[in-house]
Amino acid sequence: LAKTTQPISMDSYEGQEVNITCSHNNIATNDYITWYQQFPSQGPRFIIQGYKTKVTNEVASLFIPADRKSSTLSLPRVSLSDTAVYYCLVEGYSTLTFGKGTMLLVSP
């Protein structure tokens, strides 16, 4: 199974850009990288997914280098409501592994 490693926690202030990096050294050729957000007492919610290079949607960007051994979730101009746990997920034909998550705390 592909193993993922993320920072346990990060702190930020409202309006700042936050970058969370996930390491997945043994990612397979067919695996995708997906990021989820989870609030207390709720199930995870999809943020963004990518295979390589850069993907951007209305809430985040995902940067994946050429070797695909890591990925960075970028949240532009965070607000207090972005305080949550963020999970990196490597998924493919034979693997589906969530990381331990990064607790992001956004302060005023």
Partner 1 sequence: EAGVAQSPRYKIIEKRQSVAFWCNPISGHATLYWYQQILGQGPKLLIQFQNNGVVDDSQLPKDRFSAERLKGVDSTLKIQPAKLEDSAVYLCASSSSLDTIYEQYFGPGTRLTVT
Question: For partner 1, which is the closer residue by CB, 40 or 108?
Answer: 40
Tokens of 15: 């309006």
Cα gap 69→48, rounded to integer Å: 17
Asked if 43 is part of the footprint of partner 1 (rule: CB under 8 A), the reply reads yes
Asked if 100 is part of the footprint of partner 1 (rule: CB under 8 A), the reply reads yes
- Return the closest-CA partner of residue 108 out of 15, 5, 2: 15
Least Å distance, CB 97 to partner 1, is 8
Phi, psi of 80 (to 5 degrees): -60, -30
Asked if 10 is part of the footprint of partner 1 (rule: CB under 8 A), the reply reads no
Interaction site with partner 1 (CB under 8 A):
32, 34, 36, 41-46, 49, 87, 91, 94, 96-101
